[in-house]
Amino acid sequence: MGDLSRTLILIGSILVILGVGLSLFGKIPGLGKLSGDIFIKKENFTFYFPLTTSLLISALLSLILYLWNRK
């Protein structure tokens, strides 16, 4: 149980640091404006779904966690 709690604390700390960094330094250039992201804008309606961005972040996090847990 100790390893799980340390891992969750570490992941939470990394997320807090990333959140503070993004709020201070702005957005990551190009992220959120990829070719597969869905953006629909009408008169009184705007819909945005970052499909490609979500897949890219998921793949990157999966790779990082795979490399981290490999023993």
Please tell me the predicted confidence (pLDDT) of residue 1: 64
Residue 15 and residue 39 share a domain: no
| pLDDT tens digits, 6-64 | 888 888 998 898 888 777 766 777 777 788 888 899 999 999 888 888 898 899 889 98
Contacts of 40 (CB under 8 A, 6+ apart): 46, 47, 48
3-state SS class at 46:
strand
Residue 24 and residue 38 share a domain: no
Contacts of 37 (CB under 8 A, 6+ apart): 48, 49, 50, 51, 52, 53
Residue 50 is classified by DSSP as -
Number of domains the chain is built from: 2
What is the span of the domain harbouring residue 70?
31-71
Residue 43 and residue 23 share a domain: no
